[in-house]
A and B are shown apart, each in its own frame.
Chain A
């Protein structure tokens, strides 16, 4: 068992330091790159918090849709092939809901401030 603090706590501490102490002092292109770097750290902490539950529910939906078992990668590959062949489409029960939920779960990690995502959360 690894000791505390957790990876999330460590990354958050670094991101907060960069955000509050360093970012105000850095201008120009390096300032831009620093903000990208802080965004990357924030993304990692969101993924550490959310991905496990998201992956589990995604896998459960995929198994139900496909009537098959496998890794998340295998299941997504199988669904992709069925969509490409036309075997399943938006009229297939559960497919639109699955694609929406999976995509919303990705955005919650990748870009929770993306305007389309925020709009979809409101509706």
Chain B
């Protein structure tokens, strides 16, 4: 029972804590899990989140920044006054919980359909794009000297990574080939400025309240690169959940996103953002195909994974709308 280890661990970093309660797994594959629980304290319970690789799982795979880096980035963002949960504790071997960290739980919504449709968020929606522009600018401006070691990525490198992954599936997709060719022909070259890139700045990784954005989560794909990548990724149609005329997450305009970004003292480059939107659309398509591969090869033989494989065609129509719009 995980509460036993959590109780021992919490006693060591949270003075006065008398125990933990309500531990429940929120999500998790084989190598990474997220748990919610409450720290029991005489002054009132404190909501907490454990993000960990269970004991026996070593370093993070492939693209991942690693949980230690995630904790550092989250704390740096918190210290800079950005909406980011406070990191309460980085796991030590003696905690017996694996690798990872414990952070404060931020209440709010991450499910896009609720954020885009529920009355509760009606006042937040029109201001979100601008607010997120300011937030991502703050992330790009985090003090370089304090940042952890992360991968460096350029557009050229990312195109080759995507191409290799897509070709590994051995399933021909002329529209993906067209997109790869377009990306190679329009590769803008190295960006004038290389910054921290969040890497997965979109619905699902943003906690939203009626008052707007409350937290940015999931720094697993953080790297150094072109800051415009984050602005392009949040504009990918796959994150608009039907609200296709509002390019930023289905709630806002690019103009508002860029205005917020520039209010925070940074400059947006719309052409580069568009390049990264095409890249992001293709990336999500390739990820959908990857889900299908994992479904077929197991061990996660889930129909959700299988059905995500059938969403790759959504990115094909979005790529055609971007690259070969019809008679308009």
Contact = CB atoms under 8 A, between A and B. Distances in A.
Q: How large is the interface on A (under 10, 10 to 19, 20 to 34, 35 or more residues)?
A: 20 to 34
B311 interface: yes
Interface in B144-174: 172-174
Interface in A68-91: 73, 76-77, 79-80, 83-84, 86, 89-90
The residue in A37, A73, A83 that gathers the most chain B C-beta atoms within 10 A of its C-beta is A83
Given A115-B242, A123-B328, A73 B181 contact: no
Interface string B306-328: 11001101101110110110111
Given A77-B172, A115-B242, A115-B244, A40 B307 contact: yes
A118 B318 CA distance: 12
Contacts of B175: 99, 103
Q: How large is the interface on B (under 10, 10 to 19, 20 to 34, 35 or more residues)?
A: 20 to 34
Contacts of A37: 303
Contacts of A100: 320, 324, 326
A31 to B, nearest CB: 13
Contacts of A107: 313-314, 317
Interface in B285-304: 303-304
B313 A111 contact: yes
Contacts of B320: 99-100, 103
Contact of A39 (B172, B178, B307, B316): B307
B326 A79 contact: no
B269 to A, nearest CB: 25
A115 B246 CA distance: 12
B172 A111 contact: no
B321 to A, nearest CB: 6
Contact of A36 (B180, B237, B243, B307): B307
Given A36-B304, A79-B172, A110-B313, 10 more contacts: A73-B172, A76-B173, A76-B174, A80-B172, A83-B178, A84-B177, A84-B180, A89-B178, A115-B240, A119-B244
5 contacts: A76-B172, A90-B323, A96-B326, A99-B175, A110-B310
Interface of A: 33, 36-37, 39-40, 43, 73, 76-77, 79-80, 83-84, 86, 89-90, 96, 99-100, 102-104, 106-107, 110-111, 114-117, 119-120, 123
